[in-house]
Amino acid sequence: MKQEAFQGKGILVIGAGISGVAAAGILQRLGATVTLSDSNPQEKIKQDLSGLRQDGVTLAFGHQGDELLKGIDILVLSPGVSIEIPLVSAARERGIEVVSEIEVAYRLCKAPIAAVTGTNGKTTTTTLIGEMFKTTGRPVAVGGNIGAALSQEIMDISEQGLVIAEISSFQLEGAVHFKPHIAAILNVTPDHMDRHHSLENYRAVKEKIFARQTAADYTLLNYDDPVVREIAARVPSRTVFFSRQQELEQGVFVKDGVLWIRWEGKQINVCPVADIQIKGSHNVENALAACGVAYFSGVKPQDMARVLREFPGVEHRIEPVATIDGVGYFNDSKATNPESSIKALDAFDDGQILLIAGGRDKKTDLTEFMQLAHRKVAQLILLGEAAERFAVAATEQKVAGIQQVASMAEGVELGRRLAKPGQVVLLSPACASYDMFDNYEQRGRAFKDLVRRL
**Catalytic residue IDs:** 122, 145, 192
Q: Where is 346: in which H helix or E strand? A: helix 338-346
Give the bridge partners for 330, in sequence order. 320, 426
Chain centre to alpha carbon of residue 101: 15
Backbone angles phi, psi at 18, to 5 degrees: -60, -50
What is the maximum span of the chain, computed from C-alpha positions, in angstroms?
Answer: 65
**Nearest of 175, 201, 176 to residue 188 by alpha carbon:** 201
Give the bridge partners for 259, in sequence order. 254, 271
What span, in angstroms and rounded, lies between the C-alpha atoms of 128 and 314? 9
Left, alpha or beta for 175 (phi > 0: left; psi -120 to 50: alpha)? beta
Long-range CB contacts (within 8 A, 24+) of 78-82: 78/13, 78/14, 78/15, 78/16, 78/17, 78/19, 78/20, 78/23, 79/15, 79/17, 79/19, 79/145, 79/168, 79/170, 79/171, 80/15, 80/17, 80/170, 81/14, 81/15, 82/195
Q: Do 352 and 346 form a contact (C-beta atoms < 8 A)?
A: no
Q: How many helices (H) and strands (E) does the chain have?
A: 17, 20
Q: Do 101 and 76 form a contact (C-beta atoms < 8 A)?
A: yes
